[in-house]
């Protein structure tokens, strides 16, 4: 880690060159990765990205530059380029960019893992992966898993953020992520299961997040889909949705449309816009729909205490009992809306500008047990896991295709059904909810946005929910 005074010097240099605001961020991501196919390690390696980003405002224009070269001359050159870029941008601005208010921090924090990555040998880690693979039942009754690819990744993210408004934040967050893909077939049918499991912390997460158990459970889901499931029903009916799909929906149709930069059109040509830009009403769903984004959840993939503009983080309510509530702001969008930043500025790495991002987005749990949700459904479907999803660029029309789903008849879970598709608008989704489970499960993901594209680690979470009369295909 460089001396913070070096970064302060870059900020001062930018101000001397005419910037009205300047920030300098040292950002290092170091990771160890291994890939295993069908129990055999095909390779392992290290990834390191490290550099300094400088972002400035000058006459309302914004300039950003980044470099991997940490020599004094290269860093001063980065400052000069950021200032020159801001000056160029200013000549094209009709509405100058300003930095709005935010609770800026002077702090140092880190996530202390129970089992630091360096305390477990790579050998032991690979043996654990091998055991997980060996524990899978790969073949029975004509059902066969032909390929299991596991990608193990442990990353330590270190940052120092200094800006001309007085922020100084130093942080260290380790994260573990396991991705896997399984390909299964039986007779003339086939299916895939792709999953991502992760959180902030150390190697203890392999056990705490039950990676091996989740893999076994996914084999069962594939078996149900390919061997046991029948044709899905179509048309309008009641649906009990599992936490995995609810969690994803919170990210896609509550979190993304609440990003203020998207609402303002700053990402219009990339990740798209938001229905909230033109939505006339403030009612988006039933009273049961409350959605929160909270970067401060311990152990989460999206964990941080201060954002990449140095603003102190806390929970943000996006939908409140069915009504559109807060947005996710960085200081730029906060200035436009005349509010305080709520610390949503995140940058993927040193080469990325901080933009408005989610952290950990979830639906607030209710009071129902799973049995209570199901018992009041006369004829419907329980969709437990998904395998395909997408959503349009204003976050309105969304589609989830079930990997594992079951009929519900007279309040009881019945036979499994294959590849059922739920395709609804955001309003339909949240308005159809009439009961929310008391459970809350989080899932790991990598959220994509920005140009150049930035993938940042997030969690999304949800309970079981019951939806009335939604359209299935």
Partner 1 sequence: MVWGTAYKDEGGEPEVSGMSLAERISETLSGLVDEHLVKVRETNWLMVKIAGGEVSVIQSWRKSIVDIYVAKDARIGMLSFEATGVEDAVKRIPSLLSVLKPSPFYAPLPEPTGKPLSSTDEKIIEIVRSGEVADRLGELGVDELGNAAGKIDFAYRETRLIGSSGVDLGYRSTSFNGYMRVFREGRSGQWSWTSTKYDAGLARRALEKAVELAEECAKLPRERVEPGRYRVLISPMVAGNLIGDLVGAASAGMLIFGMSFLQGRKPGERVLSPRLTVIDKPLDTSLPGFSGFDDEGVATSNKPIFEEGVFKGFLHNSKTAKLLKAETTGNAGWIMPRPFNLEVAEGDMKPGEMMEMLGDGLYLTNNWYTRFQNYLEGRFSTVSRDAAFVVKGGKPKACVERVRIADLMPRLFSSVEAVGSDPWQIEWWEVRTPTRIPHILLGEAGITLPS
Distance of closest approach, residue 371 Cβ to partner 1, in angstroms: 30
Distance in angstroms (rounded) separating the CA atoms of residues 139 and 223: 10
Q: Judged by CB, which is closer to partner 1: 180, or 303?
A: 180
Q: Is the dihedral of CA 467, 254, 208, 40 positive or negative?
A: positive
Sign of CA dihedral 62, 278, 274, 321: positive
Q: In the structure encoding, which two tokens stand for residue 272, read together?
A: 């798209």
CB of 72: closest distance to partner 1 in angstroms?
12
Pick one of 8, 49, 153, 286: the residue that binds partner 1 (CB under 8 A): 49
Among 16, 42, 369, 379, binds partner 1 (CB under 8 A): 42
Q: Is residue 389 part of the contact set for partner 1 (CB under 8 A)? A: yes
Q: How far is the CB of 65 from partner 1 (least distance, A)?
A: 5
Stretch that binds partner 1, among 112-120, 169-177, 345-353, 365-373 (CB under 8 A): 345-353
Determine the interface stretch with partner 1 among 33-41, 99-107, 155-163, 363-371 (rule: CB under 8 A). Answer: 33-41
User: Applying CB under 8 A, does 277 fall inside the site for partner 1?
Assistant: no
Residue appearing with tokens 């860093």: 75
Site map (CB under 8 A) of partner 1, residues 84-123, x = contact: xxx-xx-xxxxx-x-----------------------xxx
* Inter-residue contact 439 to 365 (CB < 8 Å): yes
**58 lines the binding site for partner 1 (CB under 8 A):** no
- By the rule CB under 8 A, 388 interacts with partner 1: yes
Please say whether the beta carbons of 169 and 135 come within 8 A: no
Quick one: 397 or 411, whose CB is closer to partner 1? Answer: 397
Read out DSSP for 217-267? HHHHHHHIIIII-BPPP-EEEEEEE-HHHHHHHHIIIIIGGGBHHHHHTTT
Between 181 and 214, name the residue whose CB sits nearer to partner 1: 181
Cα(330)–Cα(384) distance, integer angstroms: 35
DSSP E strand boundaries for 59-187: 61-67, 106-110, 139-140, 143-163, 168-186
CB of 83 to partner 1, least distance (A): 10
* Minimum CB distance to partner 1 smaller for 138 or for 317: 138
Residue placing its CB nearer to partner 1 in the complex, 69 or 213: 69
- Report in angstroms how near the CB of residue 450 gets to partner 1 at its nearest: 9
Residue from 10, 14, 62, 335 touching partner 1 (CB under 8 A): that is 62
> What SS3 state is found at 306?
strand
Indicate the pairing of strand 360-363 with strand 454-462.
parallel
Of residues 395-434, those binding partner 1 (CB under 8 A) = 396-399, 401, 419, 421, 423-425, 428
Near partner 1 by CB under 8 A: residue from 165, 217, 392, 439:
392
* SS3 per residue for 16-55: HCCCCEEEEEEEEEEEEEEEEECCEEEEEEEEEEEEEEEE
CB-based contacts of 90, cutoff 8 Å, min separation 6: 58, 59, 60, 61, 96
Q: Which of 74, 378, 409, 412 binds partner 1 (CB under 8 A)?
A: 74
Q: CB of 231 within 8 A of CB of 418? A: yes
> What is the side-by-side strand order in the sheet with 441-449?
323-324, 316-320, 291-293, 360-363, 454-462, 441-449
196 binds partner 1, rule: CB under 8 A: no
Binding residues among 168-187 for partner 1 as defined by CB under 8 A: 181-183, 185
Chain positions 131 to 170 lying near partner 1, rule: CB under 8 A, are 146-147, 149
Residues 242-271 that bind partner 1 (CB under 8 A): 264-270
Nearer to partner 1, 366 or 449 (CB): 449
Least Å distance between CB 370 and partner 1? 26
Closer residue to partner 1 (CB): 8 or 30? 30
Between 423 and 439, whose beta carbon lies closer to partner 1? 423
DSSP, res 283: B
**Min CB(43)–partner 1 separation in Å:** 4
């Amino acid at each position: 880690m460089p001396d913070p005074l070096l970064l302060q010097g870059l900020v001062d240099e930018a101000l001397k060159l005419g910037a009205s605001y300047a920030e300098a961020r040292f950002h290092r991501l170091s990771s160890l990765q291994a890939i295993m196919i069908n129990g055999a390690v095909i390779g392992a390696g290290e990834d390191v990205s490290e550099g300094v980003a400088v972002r400035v405002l000058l006459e309302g224009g914004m300039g950003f530059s980044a470099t991997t070269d940490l020599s004094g001359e290269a860093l001063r050159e980065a400052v000069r380029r950021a200032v020159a870029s801001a000056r160029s941008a200013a000549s094209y601005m009709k509405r100058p960019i300003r930095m709005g208010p935010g609770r800026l921090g002077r702090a140092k924090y880190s996530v202390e893992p129970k089992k630091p990555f360096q305390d477990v040998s790579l050998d032991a880690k690979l043996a654990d992966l091998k055991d997980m693979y060996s524990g899978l039942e790969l073949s029975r009754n004509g059902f066969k898993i032909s390929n299991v690819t596991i990608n193990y990744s442990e990353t330590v993210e270190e940052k120092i953020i200094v800006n001309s408004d007085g922020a100084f934040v130093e942080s260290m967050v380790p994260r573990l992520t396991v991705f896997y893909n399984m390909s299964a077939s039986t007779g003339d049918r086939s299916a895939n299961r792709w999953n991502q499991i992760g959180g902030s912390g150390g190697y203890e997460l392999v056990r705490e997040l039950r990676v091996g158990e989740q893999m076994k459970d996914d084999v069962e889901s594939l078996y149900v889909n390919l061997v046991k499931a029948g044709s899905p029903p179509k048309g309008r009916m009641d649906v009990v949705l599992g936490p995995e799909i609810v969690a994803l929906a919170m990210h896609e149709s509550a979190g993304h449309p609440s990003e203020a930069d998207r609402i303002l059109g700053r990402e219009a040509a990339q990740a798209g816009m938001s229905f909230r830009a033109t939505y006339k009403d403030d009612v988006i769903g039933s009273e049961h729909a409350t959605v929160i984004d909270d970067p401060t959840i311990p152990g989460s993939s999206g964990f941080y205490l201060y954002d990449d503009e140095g603003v102190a983080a806390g929970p943000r309510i996006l939908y409140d009992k069915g009504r559109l509530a807060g947005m996710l702001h960085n200081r730029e969008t906060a200035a436009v809306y005349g509010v305080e930043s709520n610390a949503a500025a995140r940058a993927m790495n040193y080469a990325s500008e901080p933009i408005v991002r989610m952290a950990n987005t979830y639906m607030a749990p209710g009071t129902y047990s799973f049995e209570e949700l199901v018992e009041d459904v006369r004829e419907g479907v329980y969709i437990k896991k998904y395998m395909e999803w997408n959503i349009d660029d204003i976050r309105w029309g969304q589609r989830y295709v079930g990997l594992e789903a079951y009929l519900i008849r007279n309040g009881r879970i019945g036979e499994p059904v294959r590849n059922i598709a739920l395709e609804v608008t955001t309003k339909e989704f949240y308005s159809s909810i009439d009961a929310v489970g008391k459970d809350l499960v989080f899932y790991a993901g990598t959220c994509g946005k920005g140009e150049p594209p930035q993938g940042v680690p997030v969690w999304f979470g949800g309970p079981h929910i019951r939806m009335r009369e939604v359209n299935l295909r």
